[in-house]
Amino acid sequence: MDIINEHSGHQLMESGNVITLRVVGFWTRFFAFIIDLLVIAMSSQIFFRLVWPSGLETTSIKSFILINSLFPGIWGSLYFVLMTMYFGQTLGKMILGIKVVRKDGHPLSWLTVIMREVAGRILAQLLGTYLGYLVCAFHPRKQGLSDILGDTYVVYAGANKLGRLVQIPADPAAAK
Could you report the per-residue pLDDT of 33-80, keeping only the tens digit for each?
999 999 998 887 787 777 766 665 656 666 665 655 666 678 889 999
Q: Quote the CA–CA distance of 53 and 167 in Å, as a whole number.
A: 50
pLDDT reported for residue 85: 97
User: Which amino acid, residue 51?
Assistant: V
Beta bridge partners of 21: 166
pTM over 0.85: no
Q: Quote the CA–CA distance of 167 and 35 in Å, as a whole number.
A: 28
